Amino acid sequence: MLERLSADPATPDEILGFHAQQAVEKMLKAALTNRAIRYGRTHDLTVLVELLHQHQFSLPADLEEVKQLTPYAAEFRYTELPAQPPFDRSWALDIVRRVRAWAEAAVRG
């Protein structure tokens, strides 16, 4: 969805941020689940990244920036987001692709 919508300039940044956050959240949770690591009900990517670190996952340092997507989860749906810097669509696509590659490798082995 993110790839399709990011090409459309009429798509609001908040929608793209939401889909990027959701994609990353699901991929982090898949890696955690694959190792039978329990996590609470959260959309907070910082919490999930910290949980990965606690269990000695080798999350590359450059993927730590996924934390920037957290406000696009629940906050976007229930409250108006505070002023944000312009949303970088190419960054969002890139970070989702890199997290996907990392998660697929983590799940495989």
Q: Which residue, 106, 109, 108, is CA-closest to 52?
A: 106
Residue 58: alpha-carbon gap to chain centroid: 16
Q: In the structure encoding, which two tokens stand for residue 2, read together?
A: 């993110």
Residue 85 pLDDT? 74
- Residues 10-64: tens digit of each pLDDT: 998 888 999 999 999 999 999 999 999 999 899 999 999 999 999 988 788 888 8
- Residues 65-90: tens digit of each pLDDT: 998 898 888 665 556 656 667 889 99
Sequence ranges of the domains in the chain: 13-80+87-108
Residue 19 pLDDT? 93
Q: For residue 64, give the amino acid letter.
A: E
pTM above 0.85, yes or no: yes
For residue 1, what pLDDT band results from cuts at 50, 70 and 90?
Answer: confident
Residue 30: alpha-carbon gap to chain centroid: 12
State the average pLDDT over residues 104-108. 91
Residue 80 pLDDT? 66
